[in-house]
Structure 1
Amino acid sequence: MDEVVHECADLLFGTVVVAVDVGRGIVRVEGEALPSAVIERTAEVRHQPYVPLGTRDPGAVRLTVGGAREWVRPSRGRLSRRSYRVRARLGTADLLFTPSSPTSSRLVRGTSYRGDNELGVAERITGGLVTVDWSPEVRVLGATVPAASPSPAEAAVLYALAAAFGTGARFLLGAMLEGAGDAATPW
């Protein structure tokens, strides 16, 4: 399969280019104000068609940012929304990419979502196009507070994770009810 390339206009970081090669299992992100970020399949594993990169196996995925190897661990991606999380580390900074709705995922600085540590929300549209909304402020316990500002490396990682693993996840109860409805109606 050929590489699909999308160019995005990012409000904070200018032009961002996201290239996805599903066949080879490589996602590349480059931009005017971003370091390069690459997520790639490193091993021959059974291809999972619902994962743009082709796998969520943590032992078969590698992340590099600005040429430096970084740590990344996708979860299995099964029934619960939590199972679609991806953890990453840039130097000593922990990042968590976690579903925020059925179609979008947020990147937070740290190991859990608190509200004030949200960097941005991404949505992967069919074909690999990624849109990102950076969070200028968030609501925490009924108060509006300034959101954390993403570094260029964090921004590159957000685009790469969204393109490689997709975004969003349905709520478990909704997925179960939809499955039960499909099973009960043969037409």
Structure 2
Amino acid sequence: MSDTPRTPVRDTRFGAISVRQNGQDSLLVEGEGIPRVTLDRDPGSQADPQTAIGTRDPAHLTMRIDGERVELTPGQGRLSRHSYRVDVVYDGAHYRLVPDSVPSSRLTRDGVHLGDFSSDGDELVIAEWRDGPELRPVDASIGYALASAFGTGAQPMWMMLVDAVSAAIP
């Protein structure tokens, strides 16, 4: 993990939460009131500089919650915002982090919107929880880990197309 410990973020619902990255190799999310999450990239895999954890290929990623391996499926990250989604199945629930604006992504559990996360794919993650849904400590663990590992937000497809056309015109 990073040599200099980051001051934990003070989450409005779950207290102090620490996110630590070890380059593009691994990350750790922990806090007093949440399950510990680790996410590791296979050291033999080629690191993609565009992704904080180094890959979006699920064959090269291992995610664990309190030591238990969980199913992690990142989208390929192409033109649409939806293609940047990341899915996790844990304890019978389906979690999804998907961009919903340029800076942030929405976290859902079984289709219920739990909150919004913002991160540049680094150790600083900001969560804004919604009022209404019952929130679980593991919701925070998963949200912080995914936001840090893959970053949040994405441009809408029309903006990406305009950028691509602009870059192609001399």
- TM-score normalized by the length of structure 1: 0.84
Residue number in structure 1 paired with 2:18 = 17
Residue number in structure 2 paired with 1:170 = 155
User: Matches of residues 1-80 of structure 1 in structure 2 within 5 Å?
Assistant: 2=2, 5-6=5-6, 7-23=8-24, 25-80=25-80
1:5 deviates by 4.4
Distance in 2 between the 1:170 and 1:56 partners? 18
Name the aligned partner's letter for residue 58 of structure 1: P
Q: Name the SS of the counterpart of 1:129 in structure 2.
A: coil
Residue number in structure 1 paired with 2:89 = 89
- Matched positions, count: 169
Distance in 1 between the 2:3 and 2:55 partners? 17
Task: Calculate percent identity across the aligned residue pairs.
Answer: 33
Residue number in structure 2 paired with 1:183 = 168
Gaps of 5+ in 2: none
1:45 deviates by 1.8
1:36 deviates by 0.4
Is the alpha carbon distance of 1:126 and 1:165 closer, same or farther for their aligned partners in structure 2, counting shifts above 3 Å? closer
Residue number in structure 2 paired with 1:135 = 130
Name the aligned partner's letter for residue 154 of structure 2: A
**CA RMSD in angstroms, aligned pairs only:** 1.8
Residue number in structure 2 paired with 1:160 = 145
Distance in 1 between the 2:151 and 2:126 partners? 12
Is the alpha carbon distance of 1:17 and 1:109 closer, same or farther for their aligned partners in structure 2, counting shifts above 3 Å? same
Q: Name the SS of the counterpart of 2:101 in structure 1.
A: coil
User: Matches of residues 89-128 of structure 1 in structure 2 within 5 Å?
Assistant: 89-110=89-110, 113=111, 117-125=112-120, 127-128=122-123
Distance in 1 between the 2:148 and 2:121 partners? 10
Given that residues 22 and 53 in structure 1 are in contact (C-alpha distance below 8 angstroms), is that contact kept between their aligned partners in structure 2?
yes
Structure 1 moving runs of 4+ over 4 Å:
1-5
Larger Rg: 1
Gaps of 5+ in 1: 137-145
- TM-score normalized by the length of structure 2: 0.92
